[in-house]
Amino acid sequence: MTERQIKVRYQEFASIDELNAEDRELAQAAIEGMRGSYAPYSHFNVGAAVRMSNGQIVRGSNQENAAFPSGLCAERTAMFAAGAKYPDKDMCSIALAGGIYGRITDDPATPCGACRQVMAQYQSKAGKPMGVIMVGGKKVWKFERVDDILPLIFDSI
Protein backbone atom coordinates (compact mmCIF):
# COMPACT_ATOMS: atom_id res chain seq x y z
CA MET A 1 0.00 0.00 0.00
CA THR A 2 1.22 3.44 -0.81
CA GLU A 3 -0.35 6.43 0.78
CA ARG A 4 -0.57 9.34 -1.61
CA GLN A 5 -1.55 12.94 -1.11
CA ILE A 6 -3.18 15.47 -3.37
CA LYS A 7 -2.08 19.03 -2.78
CA VAL A 8 -4.17 22.00 -3.71
CA ARG A 9 -2.65 25.41 -4.19
CA TYR A 10 -4.52 28.65 -4.30
CA GLN A 11 -3.98 32.31 -3.70
CA GLU A 12 -5.88 34.36 -1.16
CA PHE A 13 -6.39 38.08 -1.58
CA ALA A 14 -7.92 40.55 0.85
CA SER A 15 -10.08 42.07 -1.86
CA ILE A 16 -10.52 42.21 -5.63
CA ASP A 17 -8.29 45.31 -5.61
CA GLU A 18 -5.30 43.00 -5.11
CA LEU A 19 -6.05 41.01 -8.28
CA ASN A 20 -4.38 41.77 -11.59
CA ALA A 21 -6.38 44.02 -13.92
CA GLU A 22 -7.89 41.19 -15.99
CA ASP A 23 -8.98 39.16 -12.98
CA ARG A 24 -10.31 42.24 -11.22
CA GLU A 25 -12.46 43.05 -14.24
CA LEU A 26 -13.80 39.48 -14.25
CA ALA A 27 -14.48 39.52 -10.50
CA GLN A 28 -16.30 42.82 -10.87
CA ALA A 29 -18.40 41.35 -13.68
CA ALA A 30 -19.32 38.42 -11.42
CA ILE A 31 -20.38 40.80 -8.64
CA GLU A 32 -22.44 42.83 -11.11
CA GLY A 33 -23.85 39.57 -12.48
CA MET A 34 -25.54 38.99 -9.12
CA ARG A 35 -28.07 41.60 -10.17
CA GLY A 36 -29.38 39.28 -12.87
CA SER A 37 -30.09 36.54 -10.36
CA TYR A 38 -33.63 35.21 -10.07
CA ALA A 39 -33.75 33.45 -6.69
CA PRO A 40 -37.25 33.74 -5.24
CA TYR A 41 -36.81 30.51 -3.24
CA SER A 42 -33.30 30.58 -1.74
CA HIS A 43 -32.80 34.37 -1.95
CA PHE A 44 -29.16 33.47 -2.53
CA ASN A 45 -28.08 35.60 -5.47
CA VAL A 46 -25.10 34.35 -7.41
CA GLY A 47 -23.28 36.01 -10.30
CA ALA A 48 -20.63 34.49 -12.53
CA ALA A 49 -18.48 35.73 -15.37
CA VAL A 50 -16.42 33.81 -17.91
CA ARG A 51 -13.43 35.27 -19.76
CA MET A 52 -13.08 33.97 -23.31
CA SER A 53 -9.90 33.66 -25.36
CA ASN A 54 -11.09 36.57 -27.53
CA GLY A 55 -11.16 38.79 -24.43
CA GLN A 56 -14.94 38.88 -24.18
CA ILE A 57 -16.63 38.43 -20.82
CA VAL A 58 -19.91 36.51 -20.60
CA ARG A 59 -22.01 36.90 -17.47
CA GLY A 60 -24.50 34.61 -15.83
CA SER A 61 -26.58 34.37 -12.68
CA ASN A 62 -28.58 31.69 -10.91
CA GLN A 63 -32.09 31.19 -12.22
CA GLU A 64 -34.49 29.32 -9.95
CA ASN A 65 -37.75 27.61 -10.80
CA ALA A 66 -40.72 26.29 -8.81
CA ALA A 67 -39.90 22.87 -10.28
CA PHE A 68 -36.60 22.93 -8.40
CA PRO A 69 -34.35 20.81 -10.65
CA SER A 70 -35.27 23.07 -13.56
CA GLY A 71 -33.27 25.99 -12.19
CA LEU A 72 -29.58 26.50 -12.88
CA CYS A 73 -26.54 27.83 -11.03
CA ALA A 74 -24.86 31.07 -12.09
CA GLU A 75 -21.66 29.36 -13.21
CA ARG A 76 -23.39 26.94 -15.57
CA THR A 77 -25.68 29.68 -16.86
CA ALA A 78 -22.57 31.71 -17.70
CA MET A 79 -20.58 28.82 -19.16
CA PHE A 80 -23.43 27.51 -21.31
CA ALA A 81 -24.14 31.02 -22.59
CA ALA A 82 -20.44 31.49 -23.32
CA GLY A 83 -20.20 28.11 -25.04
CA ALA A 84 -23.24 28.87 -27.16
CA LYS A 85 -22.11 32.39 -28.06
CA TYR A 86 -18.45 31.62 -28.78
CA PRO A 87 -18.33 27.92 -29.74
CA ASP A 88 -14.88 28.30 -31.33
CA LYS A 89 -13.27 30.18 -28.43
CA ASP A 90 -11.75 28.85 -25.22
CA MET A 91 -12.84 29.65 -21.69
CA CYS A 92 -9.78 31.05 -19.92
CA SER A 93 -11.19 31.78 -16.47
CA ILE A 94 -14.39 32.07 -14.47
CA ALA A 95 -15.29 34.18 -11.44
CA LEU A 96 -18.25 33.91 -9.11
CA ALA A 97 -19.74 35.83 -6.21
CA GLY A 98 -22.89 35.33 -4.18
CA GLY A 99 -24.86 36.29 -1.15
CA ILE A 100 -28.27 36.28 0.51
CA TYR A 101 -30.50 39.10 -0.74
CA GLY A 102 -27.66 40.35 -2.88
CA ARG A 103 -25.28 41.05 0.02
CA ILE A 104 -22.00 39.42 -0.91
CA THR A 105 -20.74 36.80 1.56
CA ASP A 106 -17.61 37.65 3.57
CA ASP A 107 -15.97 34.34 2.65
CA PRO A 108 -16.08 33.48 -1.04
CA ALA A 109 -19.03 31.49 -2.36
CA THR A 110 -17.77 28.18 -3.71
CA PRO A 111 -19.09 26.36 -6.78
CA CYS A 112 -21.21 23.23 -6.46
CA GLY A 113 -19.95 19.88 -7.69
CA ALA A 114 -22.00 19.91 -10.89
CA CYS A 115 -20.59 23.31 -11.87
CA ARG A 116 -17.05 22.09 -11.16
CA GLN A 117 -17.61 19.14 -13.48
CA VAL A 118 -18.83 21.46 -16.24
CA MET A 119 -15.80 23.74 -15.68
CA ALA A 120 -13.60 20.65 -15.98
CA GLN A 121 -15.05 19.78 -19.34
CA TYR A 122 -14.61 23.26 -20.82
CA GLN A 123 -11.07 23.29 -19.49
CA SER A 124 -10.49 19.96 -21.19
CA LYS A 125 -12.05 21.31 -24.41
CA ALA A 126 -9.68 24.29 -24.26
CA GLY A 127 -6.70 22.06 -23.55
CA LYS A 128 -5.27 24.55 -21.10
CA PRO A 129 -5.82 25.54 -17.47
CA MET A 130 -8.96 27.49 -16.65
CA GLY A 131 -8.62 29.79 -13.65
CA VAL A 132 -11.35 29.93 -11.02
CA ILE A 133 -11.84 33.06 -8.93
CA MET A 134 -14.15 32.93 -5.93
CA VAL A 135 -15.06 36.36 -4.68
CA GLY A 136 -16.07 37.23 -1.14
CA GLY A 137 -16.40 40.60 0.54
CA LYS A 138 -13.44 39.98 2.85
CA LYS A 139 -11.48 37.32 0.94
CA VAL A 140 -10.88 36.38 -2.66
CA TRP A 141 -9.53 32.98 -3.72
CA LYS A 142 -7.86 32.23 -7.01
CA PHE A 143 -7.27 28.69 -8.25
CA GLU A 144 -5.08 28.36 -11.34
CA ARG A 145 -6.85 25.31 -12.72
CA VAL A 146 -10.09 23.42 -12.23
CA ASP A 147 -8.09 20.37 -11.07
CA ASP A 148 -7.41 22.27 -7.86
CA ILE A 149 -11.10 22.34 -6.95
CA LEU A 150 -11.98 19.00 -8.51
CA PRO A 151 -9.12 16.55 -8.03
CA LEU A 152 -9.30 13.30 -10.01
CA ILE A 153 -11.56 14.88 -12.62
CA PHE A 154 -13.74 12.45 -14.55
CA ASP A 155 -12.44 12.83 -18.07
CA SER A 156 -12.47 9.29 -19.40
CA ILE A 157 -14.95 9.29 -22.29
Q: Which is nearer to ligand THU, 52 or 132 (CB)?
A: 132
Q: Which is nearer to ligand THU, 100 or 155 (CB)?
A: 100
Q: What is the DSSP letter of 46?
A: E
Sheet arrangement for strand 91-100: 11-13, 140-143, 131-135, 91-100, 44-52, 57-61
Q: Which is nearer to ligand THU, 28 or 45 (CB)?
A: 45
CB of 24 to ligand THU, least distance (A): 21
∠ CA 44-35-63 to the nearest 5 degrees?
Answer: 55
Q: Which is nearer to ligand THU, 66 or 157 (CB)?
A: 66
CA 131 to CA 135: how far, in whole Å? 13
CB of 37 to ligand THU, least distance (A): 8
**On the CB side of 25, how many CA atoms lie within 13 Å of its CA?**
10
CB within 8 A of 22, min separation 6: which ones? 51
Contact residues toward ligand THU (CB under 6 A) are: 39, 42, 44, 46, 62, 64, 71, 73-75, 111-112, 115
Of 12, 32, 75, 144, catalytic: 75
Catalytic, 25? Answer: no
Please list the active-site residues.
Answer: 75
